[in-house]
C-alpha cells in the first residue's frame, strides 16, 4: 500500500508537467484546428536551450524558463506565419499535421547535428534532494516542477478567462467566422495562440531537462504521450488535457510499481482505447462532426 | 472500370520496363535502390488505397509494415519454411493474416473522425513498436530477430526486386479495380461527405473497413519482403515513423487519390532519399533535407504532380479551343 501511495504521488507530480505540455497542444488545436506534432520536438528543443544556459552560464534551470519561454513564443509565432498560414487548400488541417511533423524532423535533425545523440540532463545541486513527509518521499525537483506547471497553467487560465485577448481566443475557438465579424483579428489571434502553445512547451522543456535524460530522438516518445493525452481529454479542451495528463501519470506509475516498469507506458494506451470505445470524442471533447 | 487499350498498354509498358530493369542493369547498388523505390511505391500505393480514397489520414500503416516483417521473422524461427524463394510464397498468407488482425483494430480506430483518427493511428504505430520491444519471448526485444540469409549468390538483390514488383503490381491492380467498382464509389462518397453518404444508404463503415484491411494486407506483404531482404528485424527499423512519413510524402507529391501518383512520387523521392542517406546519413543532416523537401512539397504542390499536370492540361486545352469531347474535370459523380 505504501508503494502504491508513493506511486500515486509520483504520478500526480509527473502528470502536472505533461499537463503543461498538452495544454498548449490542445489550445492550438482549439483555436486553429492544427495538431502541432512538433510540440514534442519543441519541448526537447527548449530542454536543450535550458540545458545550455544551465551548463554554460550556470543559470538555474527553473530560471531559464524566463529566457527560453519568450524565445520559443517568438519561434511559435514565426512558425505559424511562415508554415501554417501559407497552407492553401481545403484540406489545410490535414496538411498542417504533416507540415508540423516535417518541422519535428527538422528540429530533430538540427539538434542531432549540434548536440550529437548522447543523452543529456540538467543536474542542479538539488537534483537528488528530497523531503520526507510521514514516510513518503517528495523529490524536490519534481515538486518544484509541479509547482511551476500549476503556476503556468493558472496564468494560462487567467489569460484565457480574464483578458480581452483571452476572450477573443475563446470566441475564435467557438466560432471563427462570427468572431471575425465582431472585430476579432483572427490572424493575429491564431499567431499569438500558436506562440502561447509553444511557450508552454518551453516551460515544460526546461523542467523536462531535469526530470529525464533526453536526446534529439526523445520527441517521438513525448509526442506519442502528448497526443494520447489530448485525444483522451478531448481535442481542444484544456481542462480535459489536464485531467487526462494526471490520469496518465497515475496509471503509469501505479502499473510500474504493481506490474512492471516495462509495461507502464503501454498501460496508458489500453486506458485510452477503452475510453475511445465508449466515447470516441474523448472525455471532454465535442463530437467531431459538430466542429 | 473497363479495360481500355490505352490503360492496358500503359500498365504493360510500365511493369514490363520495371521487370526488365534488373536484368539489364547489373550494378548491385542500383538494383538495391530499385528495391527500395519499389518498396516505397508499394507502401505509398497501399496508403493511397485507404487514405487517398477515403480522405481519412492514417499515420499508422508502418505498424502493419512492422507486423508483416515480424510475422515473417517469427515464422522463420518456429517453422522450417525453407530458404531461397520459398518464403516468398508465404507472402499472401502473411498479408491475409495481418489484414485479419487489423480489422478489429481498425473498427475501434474508425469510430473516430478526421484529426482524431490520424492521431489514434499514429499512436497505433507507437503501440506496436512498444510491443515489439516488450514481448521479448517472441520478438527478442531490442536485440532483434535474425532471418536466415538465403544464398542467391550473384545478383543477390534481384529476387527481392521482383518480389517487391509483384506486390506493387498487386497493389496497383487492386487500386485500379476498386476505382472502377462500387466499393470505389462508396469510398469516394465517404471522402466527399460521409454523413450524406451514410444518409443515402452507403454502408460507410463496411467500405472503410474493407479498404483499410486491403491496404494493411499489402503493407504487411511489403514489410515481410523487407524483413527478408535486411536479415535483421529491429523494433526501431521495422516500425519506423520515417518510413510512414516517407510513404505519405510520396503520395502527396504524386497526387492523393490518383492511380499512378504514389508510384510517381516514390520514383522521384526514393533515389534522392537514398542518395541523401548515403552521403549525410551519419550526421542527422539528412533529416533536415527530408524536412525541407517535405515542407516545399506541401507548400508549393499541395495537390501533387498528377492533379497539377491534369489541371494544366485542361487549362491549355480550353485555351486552344478544345474539341468538344473534353470532360470538365475528372471528378466522380457521387451518387
Chain B contacts in chain A segment 27-86 (CB below 8 A): 29, 33, 35, 83, 86
| Cβ contact, residue pair B123, A263, below 8 Å | no
d(CA A278, CA B287): 39
Question: Which of B114, B135, B141 to probe by mutation at the A interface, max A CB count within 10 Å?
Answer: B114
Q: With beta carbons less than 8 A apart as the criterion, state whether A244 and A233 touch.
A: yes
Among the partner-chain residues B130, B245, B292, the one whose CB lies closest to the CB of A265 is B130
Q: What is the mean pLDDT of residues B70-77?
A: 86
Test B294 with A228 for CB contact under 8 angstroms. Answer: no
The alpha carbon of residue A240 is apart from the nearest alpha carbon of chain B, in Å, by 15
- Contact of B319 with chain A, judged by CB distance below 8 Å, is answered with no
Q: Is residue A171 very low, low, confident or very high in pLDDT (cuts 50, 70, 90)?
A: confident
- Predicted confidence (pLDDT) per residue in B19-29, tens digit: 888 888 877 88
The predicted model gives A5-20 an average pLDDT of 86
Cell 521473422 appears where? B73
Nearest to A111 by CA among B285, B19, B103: B285
Is B107 near chain A, with CB under 8 Å?
Answer: no
Q: Which residues lie below 8 Å from residue A7, measured CB to CB, with a gap of 6+?
A: A253, A254, A256, A257, A258
Separation CA B22–CA B244 (nearest Å): 26
Nearest chain A residue to B136 by CA: give it.
Answer: A262
Quote ipTM for the complex. Answer: 0.77
Q: Where are the alpha helices (DSSP H) in chain A?
A: 2-32, 39-57, 61-79, 92-115, 140-162, 164-174, 176-181, 186-211, 219-233, 238-258, 264-278
Q: CA–CA separation, B205 vs A276, rounded Å?
A: 17
CA angle in degrees (0–180, nearest 5) for A235-A13-A29 = 15
Enclosing H/E stretch for A130: strand A130-133
B82: left (phi over 0), alpha (psi -120 to 50) or beta: left
Indicate the residue of B286, B288, B298 with minimum beta-carbon distance to A99: B298
CB contact under 8 A, A112 and B303: no
Please report the domains of chain A, with CATH numbers, ordered by start residue.
Answer: 2-121+140-290 (1.10.3470)
Average pLDDT rounded to a whole number, residues B282-311 = 79
User: In the structure grid, which three cell numbers stand for residue B270, read together?
Assistant: 526514393
Which of A91, A113, A219, A280 has the most B C-beta neighbours within 10 Å, making it the best mutation to test the interface with B?
Answer: A280
Which pLDDT score is estimated for B323? Answer: 57
Rounded distance between C-alpha atoms, residue A250 and residue A237, angstroms: 20
Round to whole Å and give the CA distance between A212 and A201. Answer: 15
Position of cell 543559470?
A: A59
Query: Alpha-carbon distance B158 to B18, whole Å?
Result: 12
DSSP B302-331: TT-HHHHHHHHHHHHHHHT---TT--S--P
Say how many Å lie between the first and final Cα of chain B, rounded: 16
H/E segment holding residue B41? helix B28-47
The conformation of residue A262, written as its DSSP 8-state character, comes to G
* Residue contacts between A and B (CB atoms, under 8 Å): 132
Cell for A287?
463530437
- Chain A contact for B295, CB < 8 A? yes
Q: And the C-alpha cell for B148? A: 536466415
Please, what's the b/e burial string for A248-265 (b: 16 or more CB within 10 A of its CB; e: otherwise)? Answer: bbbbbbbbbbeeeeebbb
Rounded CA-CA distance B267/B146 in Å is 30
**Could B114 and A269 be called an inter-chain contact, meaning their C-beta atoms sit closer than 8 Å?**
no
- Of A28, A205, A180, A57, nearest to A121 (Cα)? A205
Check B245 against A101: CB less than 8 A apart.
Answer: yes
pLDDT tens-digit map of A259-284 = 877 787 788 788 887 887 777 777 77
Query: B119: distance to nearest CA of chain A, Å?
Result: 7
Torsions phi, psi for B72 (to 5 deg): -65, -50
Residue A120: what are its φ and ψ, rounded to 5°?
-125, 165
**Which of B112, B115, B291 is closest, CB to CB, to A35?**
B115
- DSSP class of residue A120 equals B
B312 Cα to chain A: minimum distance (Å): 17
Is the CB of A280 less than 8 angstroms away from the CB of B290? Answer: no
Question: Which 225-244 residues of chain A touch chain B by CB within 8 A?
Answer: 227-228, 230-231, 235
pLDDT tens string B208-251: 999 999 999 999 999 999 988 888 888 888 888 888 888 888 88
pLDDT at B326 over 80: no
Closest CA to A101 of B61, B228, B293: B293
CB-side exposure of B23: number of CA atoms within 13 Å? 6
Confidence of residue A290 (pLDDT cuts 50, 70, 90): very low
Amino acid at each position: 500500500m505504501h508503494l502504491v501511495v508513493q506511486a500515486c504521488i509520483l504520478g500526480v507530480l509527473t502528470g502536472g508537467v505533461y499537463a503543461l505540455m498538452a495544454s498548449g497542444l490542445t489550445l492550438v488545436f482549439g483555436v486553429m484546428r492544427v495538431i502541432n506534432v512538433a510540440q514534442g520536438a519543441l519541448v526537447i528543443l527548449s530542454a536543450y536551450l535550458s540545458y545550455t544556459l544551465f551548463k554554460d552560464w550556470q543559470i538555474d534551470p527553473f530560471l531559464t524558463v524566463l529566457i527560453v519561454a519568450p524565445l520559443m513564443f517568438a519561434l511559435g509565432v514565426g512558425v505559424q506565419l511562415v508554415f501554417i498560414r501559407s497552407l492553401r487548400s481545403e484540406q489545410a488541417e490535414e496538411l498542417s499535421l504533416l507540415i508540423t511533423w516535417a518541422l519535428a524532423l527538422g528540429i530533430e535533425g538540427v539538434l542531432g547535428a549540434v548536440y550529437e545523440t548522447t543523452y543529456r540532463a540538467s543536474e542542479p545541486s538539488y537534483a537528488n534532494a528530497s523531503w520526507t513527509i510521514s514516510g513518503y518521499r517528495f523529490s524536490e525537483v519534481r515538486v518544484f516542477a509541479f509547482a511551476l506547471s500549476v503556476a503556468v497553467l493558472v496564468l494560462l487560465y487567467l489569460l484565457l478567462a480574464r483578458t480581452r485577448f483571452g476572450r477573443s481566443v475563446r470566441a475564435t475557438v467557438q466560432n471563427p467566422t462570427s468572431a471575425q465579424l465582431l472585430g476579432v483579428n483572427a490572424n493575429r489571434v491564431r499567431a499569438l495562440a500558436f506562440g502561447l502553445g509553444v511557450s508552454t512547451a518551453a516551460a515544460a522543456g526546461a523542467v523536462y531537462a531535469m526530470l529525464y535524460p533526453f536526446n534529439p530522438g526523445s520527441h517521438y516518445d513525448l509526442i506519442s504521450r502528448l497526443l494520447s493525452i489530448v485525444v483522451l481529454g478531448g481535442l481542444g479542451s484544456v481542462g480535459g488535457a489536464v485531467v487526462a495528463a494526471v490520469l496518465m501519470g497515475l496509471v503509469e506509475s501505479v502499473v510500474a510499481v504493481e506490474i512492471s516498469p516495462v509495461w507502464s507506458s503501454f498501460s496508458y494506451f489500453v486506458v485510452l482505447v477503452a475510453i475511445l470505445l465508449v466515447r470516441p470524442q474523448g472525455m471532454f471533447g465535442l463530437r467531431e462532426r459538430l466542429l | 472500370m473497363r479495360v481500355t487499350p490505352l490503360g492496358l498498354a500503359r500498365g504493360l509498358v510500365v511493369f514490363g520496363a520495371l521487370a526488365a530493369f534488373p536484368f539489364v542493369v547489373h550494378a548491385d547498388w542500383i538494383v538495391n535502390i530499385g528495391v527500395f523505390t519499389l518498396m516505397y511505391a508499394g507502401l505509398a500505393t497501399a496508403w493511397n488505397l485507404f487514405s487517398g480514397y477515403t480522405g481519412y489520414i492514417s499515420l499508422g500503416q508502418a505498424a502493419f509494415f512492422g507486423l508483416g516483417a515480424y510475422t515473417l521473422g517469427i515464422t522463420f524461427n518456429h517453422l522450417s519454411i525453407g530458404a531461397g524463394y520459398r518464403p516468398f510464397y508465404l507472402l499472401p498468407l502473411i498479408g491475409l493474416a495481418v489484414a485479419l488482425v487489423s480489422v478489429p483494430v481498425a473498427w475501434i480506430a474508425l469510430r473516430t473522425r478526421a484529426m482524431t483518427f490520424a492521431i489514434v493511428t499514429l499512436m497505433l504505430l507507437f503501440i506496436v513498436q512498444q510491443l515489439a520491444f516488450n514481448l521479448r519471448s517472441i520478438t527478442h526485444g531490442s536485440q532483434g530477430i535474425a532471418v536466415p540469409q538465403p544464398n542467391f549468390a550473384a545478383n543477390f538483390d534481384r529476387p527481392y526486386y521482383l518480389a517487391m514488383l509483384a506486390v506493387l503490381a498487386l497493389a496497383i491492380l487492386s487500386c485500379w479495380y476498386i476505382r472502377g467498382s462500387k466499393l470505389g464509389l462508396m469510398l469516394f462518397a465517404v471522402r466527399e461527405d460521409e454523413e450524406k453518404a451514410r444518409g443515402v444508404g452507403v454502408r460507410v463503415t463496411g467500405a472503410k473497413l474493407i479498404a483499410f484491411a486491403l491496404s494493411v494486407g499489402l503493407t504487411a506483404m511489403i514489410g515481410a519482403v523487407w524483413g527478408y531482404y535486411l536479415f535483421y528485424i529491429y523494433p526501431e527499423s521495422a516500425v519506423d515513423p520515417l518510413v510512414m512519413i516517407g510513404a505519405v510524402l510520396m503520395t502527396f507529391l504524386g497526387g492523393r487519390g490518383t492511380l499512378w501518383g504514389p508510384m510517381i512520387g516514390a520514383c522521384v523521392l526514393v533515389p534522392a532519399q537514398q542518395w541523401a542517406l548515403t552521403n549525410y546519413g551519419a550526421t542527422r543532416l539528412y533529416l533536415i533535407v527530408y524536412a525541407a523537401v517535405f515542407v516545399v512539397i506541401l507548400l508549393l504542390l499541395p495537390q501533387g504532380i498528377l492533379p497539377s499536370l491534369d489541371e494544366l492540361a485542361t487549362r491549355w486545352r480550353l485555351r486552344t479551343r478544345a474539341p468538344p469531347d473534353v470532360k470538365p474535370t475528372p471528378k466522380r459523380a457521387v451518387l
